[in-house]
Amino acid sequence: MNFTKYQGTGNDFVIINGNKEDFDRSDYAAVRAICDRKFGIGADGFIVVSDSEEADFEMLYYNADGKPGSMCGNGGRCAVTFAYSNGFFTSGECRFMAYDGMHEARIMPETSVVELKMSNVETFELGNRMTIMDTGSPHYVTLVEDIDDIDIVEAGKVIRYSPRFTEEGINVNFVENKSDFLEVATYERGVEDETLSCGTGVTASALSFHVLQNGRSAASGELEVKVHTKGGDLKVKFEYDGSVFSNIWLVGKGEKVFDGCIDLEKIENNNPA
């Protein structure tokens, strides 16, 4: 099977062309073996890009544990770059179908920067210095005073495996206000570890910070929030009308790392899991 490795602010993915590769989409063990960093290629997720009757392409996303995942913002930007490079669309704009519905995207090929339009957020739970919202994937966002004092994996596990979330899982984001930007660290379900970046988590963090700072009903118009993660910098542009977040764009690079070819049977047999 031919594949391409991509990364978006350190969130890495194995991507294949579903039109050309004969891959069993229900072979979750193969996905898990491919994403294994010791016995496989190694990745935070696996993506199949293929034709769509409704859009320029379809993005099918799997978590590193082999299970089909929800929307992945960093993976979406990488999928757009891959689709452009493989001729699924030829202009600077595209539409693609993902887990949470239709998305729009704009690509600047010379810089690998992709602007990815995320789904509107119409409902969210607001608590004391925390929110719960779905930005294509479910996220728990909490404000912290000093992110360097937090053990992201251990603190993330406490929330992710709490009675409320243990069955379906939830991504956990820790956010520190640095005045000019937000510092965000994320524990991701499916990966069950801290990742260098999470696109839907960065999006949820930017939106959550706005309502945590200004109140649920604060009208805002058009806003832009800069976010720094361990894997790099992203921007989130959005509108808020006092109730609904709309016109949400996640902006950052989706960069090719390398091409390769693997023997699926061999990689599965070598994986002790």
| Residues identified as active-site | 72, 198
Per the document, the length of the chain is 273
Q: Are strands 124-126 and 11-17 parallel, antiparallel or unpaired?
A: unpaired
Contact 44, 197 (CB under 8 A): no
Contact 175, 141 (CB under 8 A): yes
Contacts of residue 210, defined as CB under 8 A and 6 or more positions apart, other chains included, come to: 218, 220, 223, 225, 240
- Please name which of 207, 213, 145 lies closest in space to residue 175, comparing C-alpha atoms: 145
Say how far apart CA 7 and CA 156 lie, in whole Å: 23
Say how far apart CA 202 and CA 198 lie, in whole Å: 6
Say how far apart CA 223 and CA 201 lie, in whole Å: 17
Cα Dmax for the chain:
56
- Torsions phi, psi for 50 (to 5 deg): -150, 175
How many CB atoms lie under 10 A from the CB of residue 218? 11
Contact 217, 242 (CB under 8 A): yes
Give the 3-state secondary structure of residue 218: coil
